[in-house]
Structure 1
Amino acid sequence: MKIILDAMGGDNAPKEMLLGAAAAVKELGVEIIAVGDEEKIAACAAENGIEMTGITVKHASQTIEMCDDPTSAVRHKKDSSMVVALRLLAAGEGDALVSAGSTGALLTGATLIAKRLPGVKRAAIGTVIPGRLQPYLLLDSGANVECPAEMLDCFATMGSVYMEKVMGRREPKVALVNNGAEESKGTPVYVEAHQLMKQNPAIRFAGNVEPREVPDGAVDVVVCDGFTGNVILKLTEGLARFFTGELKAMFKKNAGTMLAALLMKNGVREFKAKLDADEHGGAPLLGISRVVIKAHGSSNAKAVKNAVRQAKLCCENGMVEAIRENIRR
Structure 2
Amino acid sequence: MQAIHVTRFGGPEVLTVSEIDAPVGDLVVTVTAAGVNYADVSRVAGTYSPAVDLPFVPGTEVAGRTADGRRVVGLTFDGGGFAEQASIPADAAVDLPDGVTDEQALALLVQGLTAWHLLRSSARLRDGESVVVNAAAGGVGSLAVQLAREFGAGRVIAAASTSDKRRLALDLGADVAVDSEPTGYAERVRQANDGQGVDVVLDANGGDAITAGLDALAQFGRLVSYGDAGKRGRPAVDPSVLSRRNLTVAGFWLRPALELGYREPLAELLSLTAQGRLRPVTGSRYPLAEASRAFADLVGRRTTGKVVLVPQKVT
TM range (shorter): under 0.3
Q: Which has the higher contact order (CA 8 A, sep 6+)?
A: 1
Q: TM-score, normalised by structure 1?
A: 0.26
* Greater share of strand: 2
* Greater share of helix: 1
